[in-house]
């Protein structure tokens, strides 16, 4: 029998975790996470890590398995995830993958893109630009050099911005032009399931989630991480805005409103990224699990 990887995607706060657990229980299988911020064991509340009850309801992998002090990237994740899938497929014909980090989803399903080598001095200059002129200057430069990728990238992540810009500058071509459409050879068939909702509903869910995070102690979590705020892992919505509050640049109410606004923007970019894959089967976030299971089973060999 063929092996199948059911990939669940969609915007933040849409209900992917709950669906992944329901599907894992139905198919009696395991879940691998490809949420790049839930990898870090020091970041719990602000990354909406599944609760203890959720983690005990199904076998999970790649949840809080590394530290913010570790060097880890999408290339390493691709290698680790493929190795874990090889192991899991010894026991299961179906495995669930869940997460809203589009680049990490694509790395597992398609393989990573190949980029030209560029002069390391370009990255040094861009890092200096970030330090002197701020992240907004990088964002505007990317908008000019590669408006296509500008619509897809996490604009608050300076590491991603600098990576795209160094390719644009070093090659003279848009970063997005190197993003391949062909898929790497995989020993499984992917079934892609997306959750969606009308924008007002999605935005309301995001706002509610941020309020719950604050009630659960996100500010205290940010205070504990504040001494390490320069780390790449912490250039993340939810933490970044609270660091501004702790720096004295924002009031707490304004920081919370910025978290909500920036999370809504992130959700919009996630939608843009995932919608480009026409093979994804989309369901309303309230769709009955039986309907989703029936559609998945109709695609199994």
Residues comprising the binding site for substrate? 12-17
Which residues share a beta bridge with 190?
Answer: 5
Which residues are known binding-site members? Answer: 10-17
Rounded CA-CA distance 37/48 in Å is 9
- Which residues, at least 6 apart from 85, have a Cβ–Cβ distance to it below 8 Å? 5, 32, 95, 108, 188
Give me the residue label for tokens 């501004």. 244
Rounded CA-CA distance 220/151 in Å is 33
Cα distances (Å, whole numbers) of residue 26 to 57, 59, 89: 12, 13, 17
**Helix/strand/coil percentages in the chain, nearest 5:** 55, 10, 35
* Residue among 120, 105, 76, 121 at smallest CA distance from 190: 105
Which residues are known binding-site members for ATP? Answer: 10-17
Which residues share a beta bridge with 189?
Answer: 4
Tokens representing residue 136 in the block: 């907004």
Count of residues making up the chain: 301
Torsion of CA 25, 299, 17, 31, to 10 degrees: 60
Rounded CA-CA distance 212/248 in Å is 23
């Amino acid at each position: 029998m063929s092996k199948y990887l059911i990939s669940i995607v969609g915007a933040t706060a849409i209900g992917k975790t709950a669906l992944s657990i329901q599907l894992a229980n139905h198919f009696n299988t395991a879940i691998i996470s490809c949420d790049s911020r839930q990898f870090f064991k020091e970041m719990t509340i602000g990354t909406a890590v599944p609760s203890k009850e959720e983690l005990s309801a199904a076998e999970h992998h790649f949840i809080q398995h590394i530290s913010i002090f570790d060097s880890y990237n999408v290339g390493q994740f691709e290698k680790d995830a493929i190795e874990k899938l090889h192991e899991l497929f010894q026991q299961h014909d179906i495995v669930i993958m869940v997460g809203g980090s589009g680049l990490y989803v694509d790395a597992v399903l398609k393989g990573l893109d190949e980029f030209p080598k560029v002069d390391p001095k370009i990255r040094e200059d861009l890092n200096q630009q970030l330090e002197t002129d701020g992240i907004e200057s990088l964002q505007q430069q990317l908008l000019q050099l590669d408006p296509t990728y500008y619509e897809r990238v996490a604009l608050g992540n300076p590491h991603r911005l600098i990576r795209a810009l160094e390719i644009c500058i070093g090659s003279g071509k848009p970063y997005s032009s190197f993003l391949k459409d062909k898929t790497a050879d995989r020993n499984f068939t992917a079934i892609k399931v997306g959750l969606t909702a009308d924008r007002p509903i999605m935005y309301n869910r995001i706002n509610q989630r941020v309020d719950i995070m604050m009630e659960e102690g996100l500010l205290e979590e940010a205070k504990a991480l504040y001494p390490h705020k320069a780390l790449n892992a912490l250039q993340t919505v939810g933490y970044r805005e609270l660091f501004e509050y702790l720096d004295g640049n924002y009031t707490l109410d304004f920081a919370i409103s910025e978290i909500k606004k920036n999370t809504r923007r992130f959700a919009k970019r996630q939608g843009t990224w995932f919608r480009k894959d026409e093979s994804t089967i989309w369901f309303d976030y309230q769709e009955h699990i039986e309907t989703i299971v029936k559609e998945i089973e109709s695609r199994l060999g």
